[in-house]
A and B are shown apart, each in its own frame.
Chain A
């Protein structure tokens, strides 16, 4: 567990927790978390719900001051810098210079992993014993994290936008190996990128009823000098009757032609016409 977030959570946990007594107050923080995260019938943490990042992560994973197209951000990369190989740093700079055109999100393409988790639109998690389904509001993507012990297809030559996700529970943390990526997605709007060698290891740790620590470690020996890690906090959408609203944004370029441009005019004609 990322202790930084855990400390905040404990401070804000409220006086009722104190009233539970000295023994609990002194207990290991993990135990306190045990008691207030939702669980399924068999005791597995239940990640179900609608989640969204609060921080402006998608603009740039690295620390940056405000600029024309991005609010400032403290950065979410451990150590502050993505360890690019020299050639890749140049490529990132090219991406950055052309980000207004090249960012795949502008075409509403599937955002990929981990970007789907910190893009500033909500996503909904559904949980079954055999898998976890993530429905993203942005675009048309539905992601499946298999948690039934199946393995990624061996020698499979398909390259996915979301990757092939196989997860397992380690205590209260869902650890997911994500492999079989294509090289077409970006990590953010600043042009941070990867190759087909990408391997993401995610750690999803609920730290209370309404927060999930999301950690992703990025392995890609073709682009980076070593693995690197980001930490993001996900918040539950608690607004009354909140729901995802489909956003098939790739249709915007032709939305105007449907329904038929003149349908409303025609439909008000009196009967029989």
Chain B
């Protein structure tokens, strides 16, 4: 952002941040009635009785999406963004936690923070003040750092990638690959050491293994540039995340549970829980899973992903390739 072109970039990104936020809010409001669940059952860790791949991994490949809400609000997923000038969710930055939107808080999906039990992040005071500052400046960003980086096409980071748009999981011997609308995550299932700690990455560095129905992943080398939601929650680059992807034997659901350990930012470790469901061509309402049918020579119809771009089109995430002129 030091050049003239950079200044144009800021303007463009401001536009993007505002426009995409408003669009998302507008559609989010409609979705809340038609698409999102307000409750979910947590899948328990245990045995895997479902199909397996030749290398022994549980076969959970396919398209997935979270079931409750997008990344508007971390701790009140269906509560909108406090301070929303469109009034969809109502309230101001000071109203976090207040029941500003209808239906009432008790009828909306629970906080993504499952521990501590109060659903709030155990921020240290300096970090809570920062988060409030980011939230207060979300809709009218006056400094570059107030722009939520996802609005600039940045990767969403390890956890937010799972409750933003839908995504695809592919598995290969020794790997689980997540393909998001913004970037990807390759989980290494071997014993390779993590990258040197000087290397910090948007989507971090992941080492995992299977334990019954659960993929356990150790996540380090996080650059902490991605935020957890539009409500401004963040971590420091020293955060260590241990993830559990717990797959239901019905093959249709999984629960993501991750423990965040980041003493510089939080007074204690905390847990985030995200419910997910499989998305097929028959799924009535998917959340930005851009898949299309393709026909095998046998006549069977299979599901294919569509190429996703963002920075190239100078449009919001979720845009697919442009139509021909």
**Interface of A with B (CB < 8 Å)?**
41, 48, 107-110, 124, 126-128, 130, 133, 135, 140, 142, 144, 146, 148-151, 153, 157-162, 180, 182, 184, 196, 241, 243-246, 248, 250-251, 253-261, 263-264, 266-269, 271-273
Contacts and interface: CB of A to CB of B under 8 A. Distances in A.
Contact of A245 (B147, B152, B195, B310): B195
Interface string B138-149: 000001110101
A128 B304 CA distance: 14
A248 B155 contact: yes
6 contacts: A108-B311, A109-B312, A158-B307, A162-B307, A258-B149, A273-B124
A136 to B, nearest CB: 10
Nearest to A268: B264
Given A135-B186, A150-B295, A251-B154, 16 more contacts: A135-B177, A146-B294, A148-B302, A151-B295, A160-B307, A160-B321, A161-B307, A243-B195, A248-B155, A258-B145, A259-B224, A259-B234, A260-B145, A268-B264, A269-B126, A271-B124
Contacts of B147: 254, 257
B152 A246 contact: no
Contacts of B192: 241, 243
Contacts of A110: 309, 312
B104 interface: no
A161 B312 contact: yes
Interface of B: 1, 6, 9, 13, 54, 124-127, 130, 134, 143-145, 147, 149, 152-155, 170, 172-173, 175, 177, 179, 182-184, 186, 188, 192-193, 195, 199, 201-203, 223-226, 234, 236-237, 264-265, 267, 292, 294-297, 302, 304-307, 309-312, 320-325
A142 B179 contact: yes
Contacts of B179: 142
Contacts of B127: 266-267
A101 B226 CA distance: 29
A71 to B, nearest CB: 27
Contacts of B324: 157-159, 196
Contact of A246 (B1, B201, B296, B320): B201
A96 B270 CA distance: 54
B145 A146 contact: no
Contact of B152 (A149, A254, A271): A254
A140 B322 contact: no
Contacts of B223: 258-259
Given A161-B312, A162-B307, A243-B188, A260 B130 contact: yes
A241 B289 CA distance: 33
B201 A126 contact: no
Given A135-B177, A241-B192, A271-B124, A253 B9 contact: yes
A78 B80 CA distance: 59
The 7 A-B residue pairs with the shortest CB-CB distance, nearest first, are A258-B225, A150-B294, A267-B264, A257-B145, A149-B297, A126-B172, A158-B321
